[in-house]
Amino acid sequence: MSKPIYVLSGPNLNLLGVREPQIYGKETLDDVRAACERRAEALGRTIVFRQSNHEGVLIDWVQEARTEASAIVINPAGYGHTSIALLDALKAAELPIVECHLSNPAAREAVRHHTYVSLAATGLVSGFGLASYELAVEAAARLSA
């Protein structure tokens, strides 16, 4: 049995469904979790799905994933654009890492064009709303045993 894929979400994503739905969609984080669980199950895999508004908590989970996970899917949200500490934790994890965004940050304000997380990511899925997470879980499953 392979280790789970950690699916981590950063700040403000607990507000999915009510937060700028024209950008992030009407689905809630529970909907995202259910879709990820369905996709993982279809691939014969399991996930650990967590969200935090706190940078240090996300870093603790990435450090935990280092030994407990087979791969990491992470939507770092705003911390992707600011956090070198999160980048360092992801590099130290030495796991396949799939960066995931609901929107397409490259097509938005300039402040969103750079993410530190991309420097540690194996690949990036963005712009497909809830489906970004499903595709990221599929990519993570392909990248890991």
Choose one: 64-72, 75-83, 87-95, 135-143; the region binding ligand DQA (CB under 6 A): 75-83
How far apart (Å, rounded) are the C-alpha atoms in residues 143 and 50? 21
Enumerate residues 6+ apart whose C-beta is below 8 A from 18: none
Q: Which is nearer to ligand DQA, 66 or 112 (CB)?
A: 112
Q: Which of 24, 79, 116, 133 is catalytic?
A: 24
- Verify binding: residue 39, ligand DQA, rule CB under 6 A: no
* Binds ligand DQA (CB under 6 A): choice among 28, 35, 46, 78: 78
Q: C-alpha dihedral over 30, 32, 38, 40, to 10 degrees?
A: -120
Q: What is the CA radius of gyration of the chain?
A: 14
Footprint on this chain of ligand DQA (rule: CB under 6 A): 12, 75, 77-78, 101-103, 105, 112
